[in-house]
Amino acid sequence: MTSTAKCRIAICILLCAAAPAHAASCKHSIARVQAQVDAAIEKNADSHGWAPESLGAMRGYQPTPRSLAAVEDRYGPDFTAALDTLDRARAADRIGNMAACNRELARVRAMLR
């Protein structure tokens, strides 16, 4: 067997071994849902007009998704709960629990409706 053939076989074996590990991750779904939550927070922030500048903004602190969600919770869906649920989905993904990850993502999607 030539070295080229051995190399091709080794690459094929490595790709086949990596496929189940990649399939058992919900990172892409989490990223998509995170983008949906961020877009919903932005859309909600735009819908109720201007508000006075907060003390944190005057001190130059940059807003985070969680700080925006805390402010926007007064005007619409519970975005803080959605972000907490996304954190639980990430924790489930880290331990490889796909069922729990998908369940938490479904909860976030339901919160956004």
The per-residue pLDDT for 76 is: 64
Sorted by where each begins, the domain ranges of the chain are 25-112
pLDDT digits (tens, 9 = 90+) for 27-84: 999 999 999 998 988 887 767 667 677 777 777 777 777 777 777 666 667 888 999 9
The per-residue pLDDT for 73 is: 62
Higher pLDDT, 46 or 90: 90
Q: Which residues contact 20 (CB under 8 A, 6 or more apart)?
A: none
Query: Does position 89 have pLDDT exceeding 80, yes or no?
Result: yes
The per-residue pLDDT for 6 is: 61
- Residues 91, 104: contact at Cβ < 8 Å? no
The per-residue pLDDT for 102 is: 97
pTM over 0.85, yes/no: no
- From the list 95, 94, 112, the residue with the least C-alpha distance to 34 is 112
